[in-house]
């Protein structure tokens, strides 16, 4: 049964900040990943088409498919894991989230829908306007 993760994108003011960070990772390590201290227990469910949903400015805004989960022990002897991610970012409908630490599981039925790909969105459009248009079903 597919399950997803929801994670705060700490330090990012917008999606472009996430894009820039992941470009740096890809250039440095030739792959896109997120390192976390806690290792998910539901690995098979996450690898069954699961995604990580990124919260930026208290809204889920974008997701990435999780392609692999790699456990390792860092140089300080602490168990961690890399969540390997598909580099493609998929815009989602906005969904409000309160701040939290770490990551949380997200059931498929609770995950926000992907934004339609056939709608042209002006990149200069303010987030508040985009949210209001989305709430009205116009985006």
Q: How many helices (H) and strands (E) does the chain have?
A: 3, 7
Q: What DSSP line would sit under 30-62, residue for residue?
A: SS-EEEESSPPS-HHHHTTT-EEEEEETTEEEE
Rounded to 5 degrees, φ, ψ at 11 are: 90, -5
- Nearest-5° Cα angle at 129, 123 to 130: 55
d(CA 102, CA 8): 8
Q: pLDDT tens track of the chain, all 139 residues?
A: 999 999 999 989 999 999 999 999 999 999 999 999 999 999 999 999 999 999 999 999 999 999 999 999 999 999 999 999 999 999 999 999 999 999 999 999 999 999 887 666 666 777 677 767 766 666 6
Longest CA span, the chain: 51
d(CA 42, CA 44): 6
d(CA 102, CA 52): 12
pTM of structure = 0.85
d(CA 34, CA 8): 12
Q: Within 10 A of 37 (CB to CB), how many other CB atoms are there?
A: 10
- In total, the chain counts a number of residues equal to 139
Tens digits of per-residue pLDDT, 64-103?
999 999 999 999 999 999 999 999 999 999 999 999 999 9
């Amino acid at each position: 049964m597919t399950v997803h993760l929801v994670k705060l994108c700490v330090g990012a003011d917008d999606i472009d900040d996430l894009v820039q960070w992941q470009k740096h990772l890809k250039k440095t390590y030739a792959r896109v990943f997120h390192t976390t201290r806690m290792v998910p227990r539901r690995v098979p469910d996450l690898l069954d088409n699961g995604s990580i949903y990124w919260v930026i400015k208290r809204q889920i805004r974008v997701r990435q498919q999780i392609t692999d989960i790699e456990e390792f022990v860092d140089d300080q002897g602490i168990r961690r894991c890399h969540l390997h991610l598909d580099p493609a970012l998929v815009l989602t409908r906005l969904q409000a989230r309160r701040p939290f630490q770490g990551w949380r599981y997200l059931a498929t039925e609770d995950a926000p829908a992907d934004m339609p790909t056939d709608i042209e969105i002006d990149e200069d459009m303010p987030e508040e306007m985009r949210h209001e248009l989305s709430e009205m079903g116009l985006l």
